[in-house]
Amino acid sequence: MLSNWFSQPEGSGHSSSDETRVGDNDQDTQVMDPDQGNDNHIANKAIRGVKKPLNPILGEIFTCYWELGNNKRAYYISEQTSHHPPKSSYFYMAPDYHIRIDGTLKPRSRFLGNSAASMMEGVAYLSLLNRGKNKEIGEQYILTQPNMYARGILFGKMKYELGDHSFVRCPELDLTADIEFKMKGWLSGTYNAIGGVIKRESTGEVLYELSGFWSDEMFIKNTGHKDMFFNAMTSKPSSPKVRPLAEQEERESQKLWASTAKAVKERNHEVASDEKTKIEDRQREEAAARAQDGVDWHPRLFRRVRPGDGVGDDLEWIIHTRVDPTASPEEQTQQFLSIYPVVDGQKLDGGFTIPPRKEANGQAEKNGVAGDLIDIGGDVPPTQPVTNNNKSTEIENLLNSTGKPAEGALIDFTEDMKKDSPADGDKP
């Protein structure tokens, strides 16, 4: 599902619909502590405590928004833009805070003995639209994500971890950050620890050191003086909100998987598997029909990156509709909402159709039409940050202007992992 931890309305007390929690009398499912997350679906049900995932289908869409206080909102749109290999493209804006994010996520699954991993390949371009020399793209930061691990899938206590490295680059400021998400060892270490450095990219000079816990306090140190720059425990979260199922289109994540999610919550694994298979079979039939007709599938809301978009080719897809970076927050909000319904009461003209466009060479799109719809991909090297040797301003200016305490987090990662499946009232 595209919805993942974004899937439930605020206050619903539930997480993504591919999670299941049951009593001790169910031998096929393990009761998990709240901090263990919702990765218990990452493998198949032959392994203790884990289930098959609800794999996003081509054209699946998910939207949500956040109430940030003072009548300000943030908005999010995502679409599954590829199935083999799986790729999800997303677009986020907080107009009143001059923040825009364009991203593509390309997860790969790996099984490592007693652990299952989701390798979070892909890249995101975060733009601060009220900063930077180029007003069309703002001050731009290029980010990669840490990987996710579910420990104890065969024996021991099941535990969720973030691991490996996340890179953040700002070419305009000549700055790069390497943040390591440290994983607990067998005999030593602790959970959720981070460490890292901020460097001047052109010289390699280390300017700051980072330490702490991504789930708690994080610190930044310069020449022996250490300051806390974020506390996840005291920051007030803003939960994402979604439109009611009755207002959603057929291929929106929550409505698409509603019957499957209901069966999962009721612990009816046979019905859940049947409902999941119906969706997958329909996608196979659509792929076969496109191949027979010689047409290529294209995303509905995103298009291929072109020169002049202000992002790299590694993003691959970008939102089709232009949102003016120099417009007022009110105008940007209207432009964003014109892309697709995001807030309650919005209407969509017309129904979903797969665009029947041929490729330039007249060949049909190649799609797998058999087997389970999960593609774990090959063990290709993850995308590395691109180097750039532009001059920069001092990092103190960056921290002073963007590091003020936030009123609340846009996403509460820890709390969302504690939630369960959709409530009983969320029916199509």
Tokens found for residue 387: 């180097």
Give the Cα separation of 207 and 406 in Å (integer): 24
- Read off the pLDDT band of 115 (50, 70, 90): very high
Q: What is the pTM of this model?
A: 0.72
| Alpha-carbon distance values, 357 to 282, 297, 303, 361, 403 (Å) | 20, 7, 13, 11, 47
CATH topology (fold) of 4-416: Porin (2.40.160)
In this structure, the strands spanning 61-69 and 240-241 are antiparallel
CB-CB contact of 237 with 69 (8 Å): no
Give the Cα separation of 336 and 325 in Å (integer): 11
Q: Name the residue type at position 147.
A: N
Nearest to 415 by CA among 253, 229, 239, 230: 239
Give the Cα separation of 373 and 228 in Å (integer): 44
In this structure, the strands spanning 206-213 and 115-128 are unpaired
Give the Cα separation of 379 and 381 in Å (integer): 7
- Read off the pLDDT band of 49 (50, 70, 90): low
Where do the domains of the chain lie? Answer: 4-416
Q: So what's the pLDDT on residue 52?
A: 65
Q: For residue range 321-364, list pLDDT tens digits in order.
A: 999 999 999 999 999 999 999 999 998 765 444 454 454 444 44
Q: What distance, in Å, lies between the first and last C-alpha atoms of the chain?
A: 16
The residues, ordered by sequence, that sit 6+ positions from 324 with a Cβ below 8 Å of its Cβ are 331, 332, 335
Q: For the purposes of burial, counting CB atoms within 10 Å of the CB of 22, is it exposed (0-12), middle (13-18) or buried (19 or more)?
A: middle
Mean per-residue pLDDT, 17-34: 33
- Read off the pLDDT band of 16 (50, 70, 90): very low
E strands, 217-321, where?
A: 217-222, 225-231, 240-241, 302-304, 317-319
In this prediction, what percent of the chain has a pLDDT beyond 90?
Answer: 59
Predicted confidence (pLDDT) at residue 402 exceeds the cutoff of 90: no
